[in-house]
């Protein structure tokens, strides 16, 4: 007899079904892997911005003299603006242009210039906000604008629709017919009417709602946010030269490494320290005030001279002085030179060296006229009684 065909049991059918489901799931996972990548692979994490990225931003700020890094409107950005050139520079980096620009500005490597001002959500700090009028008594946003009528005869003021009597106007208070605008009645202004509680108000509350986090707040609670353009500072080229962002502030704010000239504030500080030292110890200090002149008039040499000329002057001048001596431009027409522990005789020798130096440099105006340097010396053999007056001289005063 032929063998009877086997009949699958219930347990066998269930096992086959589970195997089929498993196979389908594997096929589904494989298809997803082809479309979206391997499911088990760890998502790629964007690298953070590096020192090189920050230096590249500083370099970028120098490419547009006088303008710097200017923002453009971007409705979906947190602050409503973006800096396209910086965003392009940071493509693929887990960094926000605005945060890095603010960081560099805090370090003194960029200067902020106000470009725009936006309102920000007091909860999440984004500027995607909606402002709307609300009813003062009930808070409803269902406000409509209605016109008011003022009936001269009985002084009743009400909504225009309350006066409507078919095609005519009738005062709801005294029932008198209104005929002539300006003679029987006037329309003084419009008012807000709440569709919920029917309250009338001329000054509804203004509230805000954040479109990002849905927070509802009073309009006065919105934060103000300043949006800036970012321009390079005197430290920007120095940071690029040294390849670092810190350890620049003191030395470079007080000293011009190119021209080897001190800043005036540093010169004044050192003069004050010298005067305080003289209060405790004997000694003398001389200040030389150098003023550029063309003909009989003061000449703004620092304004017209090129960067190379200023560097050459600074390097030659400081090379003729001692290491402790300081020279700083006072304004476009003058310089101050501080000579610690120097009396009149020593100051005269320094003045002669400087005059010889200026004769060798042969400074000239843009028109080719010779520029001479007048030198005025002030020597203190003891600490000045009026330090502020002495510092006024250091700053170029008379």
Residue 209 in any domain: the answer is no
Banded model confidence at residue 258, pLDDT cuts 50, 70, 90:
low
Report the DSSP pairing between strands 326-331 and 255-256. unpaired
Whether residue 121 is found in the same domain as residue 144:
no
Whether residue 120 is found in the same domain as residue 194:
no
Whether residue 191 is found in the same domain as residue 104:
no
pLDDT at residue 13 greater than cutoff 60:
no
At residue 28, the pLDDT reads 54
Residue 266 in any domain: the answer is yes
pLDDT at residue 61 greater than cutoff 80:
yes
pLDDT at residue 389 greater than cutoff 80:
yes
Q: Give me 298's structure tokens.
A: 């003061």
Identify the CA nearest to 236 among candidates 111, 115, 112, 329: 111
DSSP assignment letter at 364: B
Element (H, E) at 35: helix 10-36
Banded model confidence at residue 259, pLDDT cuts 50, 70, 90:
low
pLDDT at residue 338 greater than cutoff 80:
yes
| Cβ density class 199-219: b for 16+ within 10 Å, e for less | eebeebeebbbbeeeeeebee
pLDDT at residue 4 greater than cutoff 70:
no
At residue 148, the pLDDT reads 81
Report the DSSP pairing between strands 334-340 and 223-232. unpaired
Size of the chain, expressed as the number of residues it contains: 398
At residue 376, the pLDDT reads 93
Higher pLDDT, 245 or 30: 245
Q: How many domains are contained in the chain?
A: 3
Identify the CA nearest to 301 among candidates 397, 233, 369, 355: 369
Identify the CA nearest to 77 among candidates 20, 116, 111, 26: 116
Element (H, E) at 45: none
Neighbouring residues of 87: CB distance < 8 A, sequence distance ≥ 6 = 97
Instruction: Round the average pLDDT of the chain to a whole number and report it.
Output: 82
* Residue whose entry in the numeric block shows the structure tokens 């269902």: 142
At residue 354, the pLDDT reads 94
Q: Give me 251's structure tokens.
A: 């030395």
DSSP assignment letter at 212: T
At residue 166, the pLDDT reads 77
Question: Cα angle at 69 between 65 and 70, to 5 degrees?
Answer: 110
* Residue whose entry in the numeric block shows the structure tokens 């890094």: 69
The Cα 346–Cα 121 span in angstroms is 67
Calculate Rg over the CA atoms of the chain.
Answer: 40
pLDDT at residue 32 greater than cutoff 50:
no
User: Mean of the pLDDT values across residues 27-54?
Assistant: 61
Residue 103 in any domain: the answer is yes
pLDDT at residue 124 greater than cutoff 60:
yes
The Cα 208–Cα 215 span in angstroms is 8
Neighbouring residues of 92: CB distance < 8 A, sequence distance ≥ 6 = 46, 47
Whether residue 94 is found in the same domain as residue 169:
no
Whether residue 231 is found in the same domain as residue 154:
no
Q: Give me 21's structure tokens.
A: 């489901």
Whether residue 110 is found in the same domain as residue 175:
no
Q: The pTM is what?
A: 0.47
pLDDT at residue 151 greater than cutoff 60:
yes
Decide: 160 and 172 in contact? Cβ < 8 Å.
Answer: no
What is the per-residue pLDDT across 275-289, written as a single tens digit (0 to 9) for each? Answer: 988 888 878 999 999
At residue 16, the pLDDT reads 54
Percentage of residues in the chain having pLDDT higher than 90: 34
Residue 278 in any domain: the answer is yes
Residue 121 in any domain: the answer is yes
Higher pLDDT, 223 or 20: 223
Banded model confidence at residue 5, pLDDT cuts 50, 70, 90:
very low
What is the per-residue pLDDT across 303-326, written as a single tens digit (0 to 9) for each? Answer: 887 767 888 888 899 889 998 899
Whether residue 281 is found in the same domain as residue 385:
yes
Q: What are the beta bridge partners of residue 261?
A: 256
DSSP assignment letter at 276: H
User: Mean of the pLDDT values across residues 97-107?
Assistant: 89
* Residue whose entry in the numeric block shows the structure tokens 């086997």: 6
Whether residue 166 is found in the same domain as residue 98:
no
For residue 58, give its domain range. 51-125+226-235
What is the per-residue pLDDT across 197-256, written as a single tens digit (0 to 9) for each? Answer: 888 877 788 889 999 999 999 888 999 999 999 999 878 887 887 788 875 544 444 566
Whether residue 175 is found in the same domain as residue 320:
no
Whether residue 268 is found in the same domain as residue 390:
yes
At residue 255, the pLDDT reads 61
Residue 80 in any domain: the answer is yes
Neighbouring residues of 106: CB distance < 8 A, sequence distance ≥ 6 = none
Residue 81 in any domain: the answer is yes
Decide: 225 and 79 in contact? Cβ < 8 Å.
Answer: yes
Banded model confidence at residue 48, pLDDT cuts 50, 70, 90:
confident
Whether residue 114 is found in the same domain as residue 231:
yes
The Cα 286–Cα 338 span in angstroms is 6
At residue 23, the pLDDT reads 56
Residue 208 in any domain: the answer is no
At residue 250, the pLDDT reads 44
Question: Is the sign of the CA dihedral 124, 130, 134, 138 positive or negative?
Answer: negative
Higher pLDDT, 31 or 212: 212
Distances (CA, A) of 165 to 162, 185, 216: 8, 15, 42
At residue 211, the pLDDT reads 93
At residue 353, the pLDDT reads 93
Neighbouring residues of 294: CB distance < 8 A, sequence distance ≥ 6 = 365, 369, 370, 371, 372
Whether residue 329 is found in the same domain as residue 382:
yes
Q: Give me 45's structure tokens.
A: 């994490």
The Cα 235–Cα 225 span in angstroms is 26
């Amino acid at each position: 007899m032929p063998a009877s065909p086997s009949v699958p049991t219930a347990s066998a059918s269930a096992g086959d079904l589970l195997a089929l489901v498993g196979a389908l799931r594997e096929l589904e996972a494989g298809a997803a892997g082809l479309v979206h990548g391997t499911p088990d692979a760890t998502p790629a994490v964007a690298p953070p911005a590096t020192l090189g990225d920050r230096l590249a931003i500083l370099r970028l700020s120098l490419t547009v003299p006088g303008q710097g890094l200017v923002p453009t409107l971007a409705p979906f950005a947190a602050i409503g603006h973006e800096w396209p050139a910086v965003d392009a520079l940071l493509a693929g980096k887990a960094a926000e242009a605005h945060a890095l620009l603010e960081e560099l500005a805090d370090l003194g490597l960029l200067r902020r210039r106000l470009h725009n001002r936006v309102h920000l959500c007091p909860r999440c700090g984004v500027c995607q906000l909606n402002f709307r009028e609300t009813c003062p008594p009930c808070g409803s946003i269902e406000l409509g604008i209605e016109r008011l009528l003022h009936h001269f005869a009985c002084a009743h003021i009400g909504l225009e629709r309350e006066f409507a009597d078919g095609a005519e106007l009738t005062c709801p208070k005294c029932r008198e017919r209104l005929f002539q605008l300006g003679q029987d009645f006037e329309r003084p202004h419009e008012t807000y009417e709440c569709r919920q509680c029917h309250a009338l108000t001329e000054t509804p509350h203004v509230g805000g709602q954040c479109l990002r986090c849905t927070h509802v707040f009073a309009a006065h609670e919105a934060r103000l946010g300043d949006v800036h353009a970012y321009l390079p500072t005197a430290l920007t080229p120095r940071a690029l030269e040294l390849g670092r962002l810190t350890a620049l502030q003191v030395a470079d704010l007080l000293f011009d490494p190119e021209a080897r000239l001190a800043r005036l504030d540093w010169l004044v500080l050192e003069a004050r320290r010298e005067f305080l030292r003289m209060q405790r110890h004997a000694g003398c200090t001389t200040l030389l005030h150098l003023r550029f002149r063309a003909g009989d008039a003061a000449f703004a040499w620092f304004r017209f001279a090129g960067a190379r000329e200023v560097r050459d002057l600074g390097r030659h001048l400081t090379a003729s002085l001692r290491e402790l001596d300081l020279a700083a431009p006072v304004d476009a027409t003058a310089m101050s030179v501080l000579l610690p522990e120097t009396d009149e005789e020593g100051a005269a020798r320094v003045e002669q060296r400087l005059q010889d130096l200026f004769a060798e440099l042969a400074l000239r105006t843009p028109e080719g006229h010779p520029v001479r340097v007048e030198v005025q010396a002030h020597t203190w053999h003891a600490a000045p009684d009026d330090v502020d007056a002495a510092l006024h001289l250091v700053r170029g005063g008379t």
